Structure 1
Amino acid sequence: MTVVRSAVTGVGAYLPEKVVTNADLAKFVDTSDEWIVERTGIRQRHQAAPDQPTSDLAVEAARKALAEAGRTPADVDLIIVATTTPDMTFPATASIVQRKLGVPVCVAFDIQAVCSGFVYALSVADGFVARGTSTCALVIGAEEMTRLMDWEDRTTCVLFGDGAGAVVLEPVEGQGTPADRGILGSALRCDGTKTDLLYVDGGPATTGQVGHLRMLGNQVFRHAVVNIAEAITAAAKAAGIEIADVDWFVPHQANQRIIKGVGDRLGLDENKVVSTVAMHANTSAASIPLALDSAIRDGRIKRGDLVLLEAMGGGLTWGACALRL
């Protein structure tokens, strides 16, 4: 049986020029490099310039993804931007990205699922591409999480960074088996009763201000390890694969301890796990495409590899996606 799959044909990433090390933070936050590394694995993060909005990061990543796919902005008919830090309340950052890239009239919108945003956006884009509504989709995760930091809260401000990653999705024909190239299966979840574990204490309909990120770290950690493992198992089942068959595991880069905890719970070989949290910190919806791009650039992930993606964020939202490059 011939089926249409959504294949990743191009990947791109962008990180702002400014690098902030743990030692830099220790100059004005009650913390230290040792404290941060021991608890998170993070050593540095990138920070956007004051005049550099999220859309600028998204555009740079998108251009690289399009170039790798051999496509131009004129080919794009769908743009989905996963972001927690939009340029404006409205219009959608995707609309601004469309204008800056010079993409013709198309479908463009944002998805807000915090750190899970990229996995959510992939699943939504898959619905367009696999059903013939889109033939060239841009899926972008772009964040400027440093804009949301309370720089007096050392438990959160050391965790986050800025960046963007993008993929191009295009339709390919397959035989309806796990050997097909493309997105094979996804699992998305949300538990709104846990909103108080990770949130921003502001918004246009409440305080009229942006607000700062707040988190109950220990509880988020506990839910992350259990919930992510369940979603990964569900996504693997939907894809018709065994977790042991996966070539690479590309998780949301929140915390090295969470990455290890999930890997241990699933019995994953640590040599198959892509980790960039030390250099990028937690870039929310941008973290998965940034890590994916990094592993492709250094030659670890190759065409034909079976890859598992996962993330968990505020909401609480979480999800996983299995795909073959």
Structure 2
Amino acid sequence: MKVLVTGGAGFIGSHYVRTMLVGGYPGYEQARVTVLDKLTYAGNRDNIPLGHPRLDLVEGDVCDRDLLLEVLPGHDAVVHFAAESHVDRSLSLADAFVRTNVLGTQTLLDTCLAAKVGRVVHVSTDEVYGSIAEGSWTEEWPLLPNSPYAASKAASDLIARSYWRTHGLDVSITRCSNNFGPHQHPEKLIPLFITNLLEGEQVPLYGDGLNVREWLHVDDHSQAIRLVLTRGRAGEIYNVGGGNEQTNLSVTERLLELCGADRSSIRHVEDRKGHDQRYSLDESKIREELGYTPKVDFDAGLAETVVWYRDNEQWWKASMERGRG
């Protein structure tokens, strides 16, 4: 078995790769893994075990058709994480998001057809649904994205579905809720707030902090992707949630406590443009069809995440420097 993981040096992709290489996915204990990553500010060589006998790293762009045609032959499956993913950056750099997320997905799927790759999982986000005041999104919910990032991911989902419907490509789509855990770039809410607090700085909380997000530990997400890769149906979408809704203010208060700070460390800032009020996924499909169950308790996972950042200051400071470049 040989698996290509795009964006495999990023936060979620690298967790998936590391877990596969230590035998964490039944049926893939001896799989060879090729990581294709552009190694932008969010991709980090230190996230993956370079030198592992079953790992190959290819530095390159998912939009590079010639490179993909060179790398893909011989791979049995592709897990597609590669994406521009930070909403704030998409507000001013939308062209990069459209290029990577839409054109990159189309180029990858086209070359998967040419290379006769047998199985593809396209990793997406709950943000494609927009915002929901009450209830939870099912996979049949209409796509109503509210940021350039979310719109580019919605477009990539539709591209993926079209390659199944038109060409018969064996591709499934996953849509996850907000992820957290170690190795996440400090531009995202939880690692940004943790690293600010560890340095004695205030945390910038958008608006009143009452926007609601559903949180999912990166390990639970990775296990769900393994289930979809192994047993998911072609052309199907699977919502992957953590079953844990929190306001941003509530998450902030937990982080203050874990980092030994008080409410004076909160700095309320002007709300983000088009800020979605609430996300909530109905994940009954993946639970009933594939047996998925999230296992990491939110509070325990958050505490462990704080410890990881406290113990890995060199990693996150270097990541912040790359992000400023």
Identify whether the pair has TM-score above 0.5, normalized to the shorter chain: no
TM-score by length of structure 1 reads 0.29
Higher RCO (Cα < 8 Å, 6 or more apart): 1
TM-score by length of structure 2 reads 0.29
